[in-house]
Amino acid sequence: MTMKNSLRMNTTQMADAVARGEVSAVELATAAIERITATDERVNAFTDVLRERALADAGAVDQARHRGEKLAPLAGVPYAVKNLFDVQGITTLAGSRINRTHPPATADAVLVQRMQAAGAVLVGALNMDEYAYGFTTENSHEGPCHNPHDLSRIAGGSSGGSGAAVAAGQVPIALGSDTNGSIRVPSSLCGVWGLKPTFGRLTRRGSYPFVHSIDHLGPFADSVQGLALSYDAMQGPDALDPGCHALDVQAAMPTLTQGVKGLRIGVLGGYFHDNATPAAREVVAQAAAALGAQGEAIWPDAALGRAAAFIITASEGGNLHLDDLRTRADDFEPLSVDRFISGVLQPTAWYLRAQRFRRVYRDRVNALFRDWDLLIAPATPVQATVIGAETIDINGMTLPTRPSMGLLTQPVSFAGCPVVAAPMWPAGEGAIPGLPLGVQLIAAPWREDVVLRAGLALAEAGAAAVRAPRALA
């Protein structure tokens, strides 16, 4: 098998080929690094490429196979991480200039450790919005991340490098974070699979925080199976992370083939219909038809949930960086520094009121799942915008681009529900040909199995798929 052909395999095919000895882990790591070298000057997804580490880890996988050992589920599969994950030996930038003066990490983040234990091979760290505050990855320090389907357009954010790296075929799996939509927005705009697990499901220890009250970590992948394998690899309690509420492992991979028969499936209307363009409504209709949706559901207090999420985000985010804002404001990202400062200046009463509302809000959302098992909504209101675009149009409303890309994701993550972002490709009136726009598949807390099963059902129906990046052909 040639290195070029190895890049055409998806996650499970790579792992199976390594286990059978059809391709070596070193060959896969080398192919990934060569692909990054050939494409990343145009995409700008990577901030660090870890060639020596990748080849050493891949070599260890090959040695284990030669000794006849049973290989771990992701053995030999290359992956990369958003540069807010600690990686031993490199500085955790979190997209910033300020962090460049910090010492290198002395240990890997826990999720990186768990991915390595599952046999995955880390090849690098990825571009992002500074301190995860943004939806476009137009990073002024590292340069903007470019969408592999149209290099003039954004990759989404804040995990833009993660979405772009998978879409560009540089790696089959990437890790990111999602506070208000930072996995689902890049997944939607780059046309890849993404999973935002239940809040508290995966440990965050060893990752640079943004908003402790809302931060989630999760994977991007080239297939639903890739999502499930990486998610299962990262599961498990962590007694040293008080924000990790998972007490057990509920493996998703064995449940994938159960399908969606018998599930009560609804389409979110109201807020999620009103804030969607025709292209976004088109992909929701396609997903609803493929999955057999039975009716419309209304998400309670969606606009209020988004407003409360904004208040908590600004307050916690700003106060986390208070000392640097006082002394090094000029070193912050120009596109977000004002929002950090405004967060510091918010009255404490606003923050406390938003947190009190969140408890009521989650109860109302959880009640919705007494009647529904799965809900479908657009992941973004529009397809990827041109880099530098300041506004978007949604049904005659002109809105600022950077915050508005999260219009449809913020209410969901504020409730902590698990979501799979599925890559869809609108082609109807008003859609930009060749650009993706994803849907959110949403379930009750702790039901990642349901959203992953629905994702696989969409893929098997031919409604959702990852496509080759046309701008890198």
Residue 380 and residue 296: Cα distance in Å, rounded? Answer: 19
- For residue 249, the tally of other CB atoms under 10 A from its CB is 11
Burial of 271 (0-12, 13-18, 19+ CB in 10 A): buried
Residue 459 and residue 189: Cα distance in Å, rounded? Answer: 18
Residues 6+ apart with CB under 8 A from 136: 129, 144, 154, 155, 156, 157, 160, 385, 387, 401, 402, 405
- CA atoms within 13 Å, Cβ hemisphere of 304: 15
Catalytic residues: 82, 158, 182
Pair of tokens at residue 234: 């990262």
Q: How far is CA 118 from CA 18, 122, 272, in A?
A: 13, 11, 38
